[in-house]
Amino acid sequence: DAKTTQPPSMDCAEGRAANLPCNHSTISGNEYVYWYRQIHSQGPQYIIHGLKNNETNEMASLIITEDRKSSTLILPHATLRDTAVYYCIVRVARSYGGSQGNLIFGKGTKLSVKP
């Protein structure tokens, strides 16, 4: 079973920030939080990942709470092309002796960006 809990769906107005929450209350100290998204039956696309500190890249920001039991993916200016299912995944990085790269995808959050 996935180790994360996400709301099944969310709406966001175009141009506004989309904040997607994820609960991972059983996360271990050596587990990272990864976010992928899947746009309508296309291959999943990597967005961002982090361990403890907040992270930002050209696509999104990842805010991880201090106790690491939850995180939020932020799309700062959502567009219609950001409509997708967003998956929050917790896994051990291989450098920490993690298993082979099986990503366990839960049900994700279906984000609908509306004009």
Partner 1 sequence: EAQVTQNPRYLITVTGKKLTVTCSQNMNHEYMSWYRQDPGLGLRQIYYSMNVEVTDKGDVPEGYKVSRKEKRNFPLILESPSPNQTSLYFCASSSRDGQETQYFGPGTRLLVL
Q: Residue 64 is which amino acid? A: I
Residue 77 near partner 1 by CB under 8 A: no
Contact track, partner 1, 39-68, x by CB under 8 A = --xxxxxx--x-------------------
CA 112 to CA 24: how far, in whole Å?
Answer: 23
Q: Residue 44 is which amino acid? A: P
CA 102 to CA 42: how far, in whole Å?
Answer: 19
Q: Please report how close the Cβ of residue 115 comes to partner 1 at its closest, in angstroms.
A: 27
CA 6 to CA 106: how far, in whole Å?
Answer: 9
Q: Please report how close the Cβ of residue 61 comes to partner 1 at its closest, in angstroms.
A: 17
Give the binding site for partner 1 (CB under 8 A). Answer: 32, 41-46, 49, 93-96, 100-103, 105-108
